[in-house]
Amino acid sequence: MLNLRKSDERGIADHGWLKSYHSFSFANYYDPKFMGWGNLRVINEDRINPDQGFGEHGHREMEIISYVLSGELAHQDSLGNIKSIPSGDVQRMSAGTGVTHSEFNHSEKQTHFLQIWIEPKLKVIAPHYEQKTFSEKDKDGRLKLIVSSDGDDGSVKVNADVCLYAGLFNDDQQAALLIDPCRKVYVHVVRGAITVNDVILSGGDALMMSEEREVIVSNGQNAEVLVFDLKAN
């Protein structure tokens, strides 16, 4: 079963310094039909203006992934981490029993990134932080595992039942991924255009999949895509 969600169907929040597109219900955007998909709870596409950002705030019992598309994000948290997250980096923060952090764009250019929340597998654990770089070569013409529950293949290890793949596709490049039909899949197109299981998607579009056995991506036009293999709940 395939369900297409177009980019312009998402919720929008424009705060001046921040423009955010919400794939699922978040903050003041609420749609009971889009509360998440499997154990995926949030995908926000955020653009932060120069010298702006999120002040110190708290999280708990959630796995939070930042995927920077362009620009740079400055992170500081109550665990003592002071990090810069450039384009190509994947950051994971396990909020666990509680953590506070801030995120700022200290550069002269806009920072564009995805904020992703996934429900944790285990609760009441200590908060934790991890960050890794995945180059364009790592993702070129393939679905590269970047986040998983066991840290397989050099991926970021997350406290959640999920495998997250990222790929860059152009022209005749294609890839296939076998899926347990008892699980759910969420495909998010970051940029460009691509065909997924015979459905044409463009930047910001998503394809929600259930009871499928394979994900096939092809016909990319300067495309960057994320594929989530998720617990069905």
- What are 75's strand-pairing partners? 83, 103
At the topology level, CATH places domain 137-230 in Jelly Rolls (2.60.120)
Residue pair 191/225 in contact by the 8 Å Cβ criterion: no
Q: pLDDT tens-digit profile of 75-134?
A: 887 888 788 899 989 999 998 999 887 898 998 899 999 999 999 999 999 999 999 999
Domain ranges of the chain: 10-133, 137-230
Instruction: Return the beta strands (E) in 122-183 as ranges.
Output: 128-133, 144-148, 156-157, 162-169, 175-178
* Amino acid sitting at position 202: S
CA distance 164 to 195: 18
pLDDT at 125: 92
> In the predicted model, what is the mean pLDDT of the chain?
94
CA distance 27 to 223: 29
CA distance 62 to 123: 9
Please report, for residues 32, 52, 79, 226, the alpha-carbon distance to residue 159 in angstroms, rounded to integers and kept in the order given.
26, 30, 17, 19
Q: pLDDT tens-digit profile of 174-187?
A: 999 999 999 999 99
> Does 233 score more than 80 pLDDT?
no
pLDDT at 161: 97
> Does 147 score more than 90 pLDDT?
yes
Please report, for residues 6, 109, 131, 201, 219, the alpha-carbon distance to residue 198 in angstroms, rounded to integers and kept in the order given.
15, 37, 34, 9, 10
> Does 40 score more than 80 pLDDT?
yes
At the topology level, CATH places domain 10-133 in Jelly Rolls (2.60.120)
Q: Do domains 10-133 and 137-230 have the same CATH topology?
A: yes
Place of tokens 């950002």: 53
Please report the sign of the dihedral spanned by the C-alpha atoms of residue 192, residue 90, residue 185, residue 40: negative
By mean pLDDT, which of 84-98, 149-163, 200-214 is the weakest?
84-98
The pLDDT-based confidence of 209 (bands split at 50, 70, 90) is very high
